[in-house]
Structure 1
Amino acid sequence: MSSSETTTDHDVIRQWIEQRGGIPTVVRGTQDDEGEGILRIDFAERDDALEEIPWEEFFETFEDRGLAFLYQDETKDGKESRFFRFVNR
């Protein structure tokens, strides 16, 4: 049986994302007056609608919005999972 966990630990989040080939991004054109956009993770199949951002900017937006990272390590059949969501704390 697979289960999900929630964290706000930046090191855990970054490690989970990087282990799966992901990079921190925002949706192009969604930045506000402070430069913060809608956060996304782009995996190996790069999406042109997303713009890569530095980890520092990613986590600043993550904290400013009071988010937590809900994620799953493995699927129920034991394969590596990419399931995640940004949720409110």
Structure 2
Amino acid sequence: MSSSKQTHNHATIKAWAEKHGGVPAIVADTAKGDNDGVLRIHFPKHSENKSDLKEIDWDTFFENFDSNKLDLLYQEEKIDGEESTFHKFINRE
């Protein structure tokens, strides 16, 4: 059974991303003023082209993540039991 989890815990997010081969990134050319840009977790082995993504360090990622009061909604596995990289950023409630 597939289910989603939600967190803003830095250690949980980093561990989940790294377990699935993910790295912190921003969408290139989206930085405006004090905003570093649109956050993403990039999974290079699942992507043919990452030209629009710029890898960043985890500290920068979490500074942006926290200043925007975001949570990560994510899945550990798909309904068929296969590993999942599904995730999205949502506003904290």
1:2 paired residue number: 2
Report sequence identity in percent.
Answer: 45
**Separation of aligned partners in 2, 1:83 and 1:28:** 21
- Distance in 2, matches of 1:33 and 1:71, equals 29
Question: With structure 1 as the length reference, what TM-score do the two structures score?
Answer: 0.94
Unmatched 5+ stretches in structure 1: none
For 1:38, the equivalent position in structure 2 comes to 38
TM-score by length of 2: 0.90
Paired position in structure 2 for 1:82: 85
Paired residue total: 89
Q: Which runs of 5+ in 2 are unaligned?
A: none
Find the aligned partners of 2:80 and 2:12 in 1 and give their Cα distance.
Answer: 23
1:63 aligns with 2:66: yes
Deviation (angstroms), 1:32: 1.8
RMSD: 1.0
Partner of 1:22: 22
| Deviations 1:7-60, CA, capped at 9 Å, x for gaps | 010000001111111110101111122251000111123501000111000000
Partners of 2:35 and 2:81 lie apart in 1 by 39
Match for 2:32: what amino acid? D
In the TM superposition, structure 1's runs of 4+ consecutive aligned residues that sit over 2 Å from their partners are none
